[in-house]
Homo-oligomer: A and B are copies of this chain.
Amino acid sequence: MVNVSIIGATGYAGAELLSILHRHPQVKLVHITSESHTGKQIPELYPHLRGLCDMTLESLADLETIGKESDFIFIALPHGHAMDVGLQLEDFPVKIIDLGADYRFGDTSIYEQWYKVVHKHPNANRVYGLAEIYRSQIKDAKIIGNAGCFTTASILGLAPLVKHHLVDVNSIIVDAASGVSGAGRGLKLGNHFPELYDNFKAYSVACHRHTPEIEQALTDLGGEKVVMNFTPHLLPMTRGILATCYATLRENVSDDMVDAVFLKMYGGEKFIRLLGRDAYPETKFVRGSNYCDIGWHIDERTRRVIILSAIDNLVKGAAGHAIQNFNIAAGFDEDTALDVVPMYP
């Protein structure tokens, strides 16, 4: 058994961690924290967990005790807070999986530029937590900066083509849409039910913080600097992300070459389901699961390839991916607790 704690357990990602860890046979949950709800029991905040997780929320004031008693700590706090935790626990043997952005960037100046926060822990022993791409480094890192939701869908969709140099890296556009749970449990007018129902909009056009994260991974994969457009949209639904990715094929790239790189890169992956050329994923096909479903189309008229990539933003886009990374780091089967059938309809 591995001792696990969650810092910031009351947001949607925290609740999803609780749900998934509940079915993990080798995990013992030792501490869960919330500053705004210290002392409450989980079912007061999430009645669906009544009888399943009745733990009491603690403060993270005594972080050292949490650090000492845990083998792994998941952090599900807003960005800017995890680095305090990481710094304070630097010399403890505990491993950290941060679901926020603090540890996602190799070059912290990029983080500082996009997130407008000074990074306090730039020399952390960390890895970008996108399991299918950085699996071997994830095994050994002290801190895993779990990949973002839009970024996971976008990078997984584009990675084979960029890695194998089949597309012009200056041509990349990702147009994506997410269910509202991605915006968290905090109240704001834009996510008030009547405002969003029967409504659709773009936001953070060309300035969303997932942009540099996608660029970092694709630049790393292809060896050429990627600068791209990413446009997020908000869907009138709860869960799911669909990323529609565009890139111009390089000359002489055949359709079969495109198919081949997807198969080569993902043929053995448990959580990536390749639907193939001209077959398209729907967010509901992966709802509640850790799958990323991918399909693609090659447009002969424009010579662009269009890749469709779907995930559940709270699972493969957050808590599920974090537990996949945890399984890698802890030496468990990668799909332990994650072998869930998508909920349909």
Contacts and interface: CB of A to CB of B under 8 A. Distances in A.
A1 interface: no
Nearest to A300: B206
A341 B288 CA distance: 11
Interface in A217-238: 227-229, 231, 233, 235-238
26 contacts: A47-B282, A48-B285, A48-B289, A50-B293, A51-B273, A173-B304, A177-B177, A180-B193, A191-B193, A193-B193, A193-B236, A197-B236, A197-B345, A198-B238, A200-B235, A200-B237, A200-B240, A200-B242, A201-B282, A202-B308, A231-B306, A236-B236, A236-B237, A239-B345, A288-B288, A343-B343
A5 interface: no
Interface in A221-275: 227-229, 231, 233, 235-240, 242, 244, 246, 273, 275
Interface stretch (A15-23, A26-34, A61-69, A99-107): A15-23
Given A192-B187, A202-B308, A237 B342 contact: no
Contacts of A283: 198-201
Contacts of A343: 19, 48, 287-288, 343
Contacts of A195: 284, 345
A228 B48 contact: no
B345 A299 contact: no
A304 B188 CA distance: 30
A331 interface: no
A246 to B, nearest CB: 6
A111 interface: no
A116 interface: no
A134 interface: no
Contacts of A286: 48
A49 interface: yes
A164 interface: no
Contacts of A301: 206, 227
Q: Among A48, A52, A180, which residue has the most Cβ atoms of chain B within 10 A?
A: A48
Query: Sorted from nearest, which 7 A-B pairs have the closest CB atoms?
Result: A194-B345, A199-B284, A175-B175, A206-B299, A201-B282, A187-B187, A48-B342
Contact of A238 (B197, B288, B297, B308): B197
Contacts of A228: 302
